[in-house]
Amino acid sequence: MGNNFWIAIADALRGWMGGFMPPVGVDVVMAFLRAIVLAVFGLLMFMVLTWIERKGIARFQDRLGPNKAGPYGLLQPIADGVKAITKEDITPANADRFVYNIAPILAAMGSLLVYAVVPFGQGMIGVDLDIGIFYILVVGSLGPLAVLISGWSSSNKYALLGAFRGVAQLISYEVPQILSVVTVIMIAGTMSMIGIVDKQVASTWFIVPLPLSALILLLSGMAEAGRGPFDLLEADSEIVAGYHIEYSGMKFAMFFLGEYVHAFAVSAVFSTLFLGGWQLPFFNVDNTIPWIGPLVILVKSLFIFWVMVWIRATFPRLRIDHLLNFNWKFLVPLSLLNVAVVALLDRLLSSAGYGAVDNTTVWTLVLLAANLAMLFGALWLMGRRGRRARQVDQVVEERPAAVEYAHAESVH
Amino acid sequence: MLESYSFIGVFIVVAAGIASAPLLLAWLLRPSKPNPIKSSVYECGIETYGDAWVQFKAQYYVYALVFVLFDVETVFLFPWALVYNQLPLFAVIEMLIFILILAGALIYAWRKGDLEWV
């Protein structure tokens, strides 16, 4: 670990400050520096992500997207920032002012807090908490709070509608998110983010044996970030902009920032839990070039973010009852089944000598087969239910037409 | 141990600062010329009718209740999942029974019609 370039820089800084400061002061300053680097990284990623998203969506819709400000429109986020900062801020007359002003800060802060435990390399982490992944779930509950208080304090009906929809959606999708994380914790035997990556180095990327958990985490993470087909809390074409309709200028930009930072945090957590974090297979990243670890996790996270953009461009928005049904009647039972099956199979395989580390190939194949069987079984059940529901609809629709036909016959 | 959590405290301060700094900057730079029409509540261009703080559809509350049930119960899964690797088979099966009870709660709520959108 000592030969890592970034850690060497940190050590040099420590040594330099140790010359004129007590050790406690050095610790505090280093903690603040790390926090500032991570938070500023979040802000910078926000600018990159808005560009990627706008460019990507534009291409999907056969448009060019931003292309005036700078080469390929790369300076567009800066222009947007200047616009947001110099724009007049309008507060509705009968809004609850204090809560109204707190909400955008809370939205941005809640998303930024996730970065404290995302590992960018060996030792390159804000803090390696023992309960890292649990901390992410805990911090994630700030999101619904920001949505609810912003919608409620705006004293606008659209905002209220968006806030209620948003809270119903955000809290519902937390359940499959938690349950899909449980399987990873079970296999890894730790909640520390670095520990989970190390375990994947020892066995294999968890997306291979646990594709179902990965899929559920991605879907519920997208719903948690309020993106793609799950953007009911904003729904521009129904409730105009939902909970942040009354916000303008920089306050609106902070909600926007919160959403993108959250989406990237979901991608980064997904990459850490299922795609091996900053590590590559068959290749020890730690002792080679210093910037390769952060680069690897950045590329993985951007890929996952790109998948989110792709899904958003492909699927139409869900209706609120379909959204909640999809969660409670499909994702939650499926993730409960997933936890039970993975727990039983892994225990049986381990006691037979085919554990995750002892015999990775057999273990991976068995779990992969079980996961795929569960996924396709659930999809088949859902498809059968859907076909039956459609048949009932058809019968109901045909009856009046038949009566009319009989009536027409008797007249002639 | 305590040091790692104090970093979270530092990070909360820094994140709040980073989140409010642009707002402060905007507060210094932006124009401010409010008038009654500008600061009225937006509603399709017509004048706002009634108050927005109204009684609301109770269905959302039912979902919140079901969520609380599941959230509390899944928290019990975490300690079990953490020590799962050291558990004997019977402890795993015990937890499977717990998951079955969870599934039973879900089926109860489903049958009772609490998951239907009305």
pTM over 0.95: no
Q: Identify the pLDDT of residue A235.
A: 67
DSSP A228-285: GGG-TTT-HHHHTTGGGTT--HHHHHHHHHHHHHHHHHHHHHHHHHHS-TT-BTTB--
Identity of the residue in B19, B22, B57 whose CB atom sits nearest the CB atom of A109: B19
| Domain edges within chain B | 2-111
**Residue B58: is its pLDDT beyond 80?**
no
Contacts of A247 in chain B (CB under 8 A): none
What count of other Cβ atoms lies within 10 Å of the Cβ of residue B99? 20
Q: For residue B7, which residues of chain A lie inside 8 Å, CB to CB?
A: 31, 34-35, 116, 126-127
Interface contact flag, A155 B23, Cβ < 8 Å: no
pLDDT at A5: 65
Instruction: Give residue B67's pLDDT band: very low, low, confident or very high (50, 70, 90).
Output: confident
Cβ neighbours of B39 in A, within 8 Å: 90-93
Residue A90 Cα, gap to closest chain B Cα (Å): 6
* Closest residue to A93, CB basis, from B3, B39, B103: B39
Within 8 A of B16 by CB-CB distance, chain A residues are: 105, 109
At A4 the pLDDT is: 63
Tell which residue, A46, A111, A52, has the closest CA to residue A81.
A46
- The rounded radius of gyration (Å) of the Cα atoms in chain A is 25
Residue B108 scores a pLDDT above 80: yes
Of B12, B106, B117, which is closest to A333 when you measure between CB atoms? B106
Q: In this predicted structure, what is the pLDDT of residue A1?
A: 40
In angstroms, rounded to a whole number, what is the distance separating the alpha carbons of residues B55 and B69? 24
Q: What is the CATH number of domain B2-111?
A: 1.20.58.1610
B14: closest CA of chain A, how far (Å): 6
Residue B52 vs residue A303, higher pLDDT:
A303
* Average pLDDT for runs of 10 along chain A of length 412: 62 76 76 83 86 88 84 85 84 82 87 86 76 86 85 82 83 88 87 84 83 90 83 70 80 87 90 84 68 82 90 85 84 88 84 75 83 88 85 66 53 51
> What's the gap in Å between the CA of A169 and the closest CA on chain B?
9
Per domain, the residue ranges of chain A are 5-402
Q: Which member of B13, B92, B100 has the closest CB to residue A343?
A: B92
* Lowest mean pLDDT, pick from A32-36, A141-145, B52-56, B87-91: B52-56
**Interface test mutation site (partner A, options B13, B57, B70, max chain A beta carbons within 10 A):** B70
The C-alpha atoms of residue B103 and residue B93 are separated, in whole angstroms, by 15
B40 neighbourhood in chain A, CB within 8 Å: 92-93
Kindly list the residues from chain B whose CB atom is less than 8 angstroms away from the CB atom of residue A97: none
Would you state the torsion angle of the CA atoms of residues A277, A280, A286, A291, taken in this order, to the nearest 10 degrees? -80
